[in-house]
Structure 1
């Protein structure tokens, strides 16, 4: 009897103009993750090289991507990979036009070794604009600002771990 009532109830709602909400699939989203490898200390203790990989693990492209790295105050930047540029205050800025889903960018940062008892650390923050998507019947939304903060390791969303 319950099955029969349910079949009668749905046409009755439609006849009154009440329609249950339609499910809309979530729009594709970019998901950029910054991961650092283990720091490599030069055999003569003259410097440390930090290798990093930035990957879009999402389902949408990311545009105007900016990865900003910050080294600890005990370190001095002595080199960075292209297209990155080092600033005066221990910051490195890497700019990318776009990173498609599944694509990666990689690079390195070379610093001096910290003084005895000093700290060796790199923090990162990644910001981007998401490629606009189109939802059926809604049209194209405006680009969405998104970001990832990564103190010394991989991050998701806007959580700092």
Structure 2
């Protein structure tokens, strides 16, 4: 859902233009329940139509309404939503609204799926970095143990040599 302010910012026009001037034209193409929920929340379909309407010249607006209405009616008809004379307009509007809401839900699910895949990629990268860090830490611990063992061995060797030299030289004390 979008506010008039958000749509206006995207199209670089005033919020009043969206609410007061352009909405009347957009509503000629698609019934209001498909364009907004409540007074301040516009649907994805409304955003798309406002974006397209922004490029229409003032003198071409009536033709744009006719062309766009025909295009969207055809889309709903192909989805089994509206069948002109066979279905009352109110029923067609409700079905078209359901189709639009389903489409918006599909878009939201696709976006959530993309975010989840990104999170999984981040977790895999972190796990790879953790494994690399664990390996480096193990190598460092091994080096530290080897240094300590060599130091203890060398120290014992030097003490023993020193002790033996002192004995040989007559110190006699171990």
For normalisation by structure 2, the TM-score amounts to: 0.19
Question: Which structure: larger Rg?
Answer: 2
Pick the structure with more helix per residue.
2
Pick the structure with more strand per residue.
1
Question: Larger relative contact order (C-alpha < 8 A, sep ≥ 6)?
Answer: 1
For normalisation by structure 1, the TM-score amounts to: 0.20
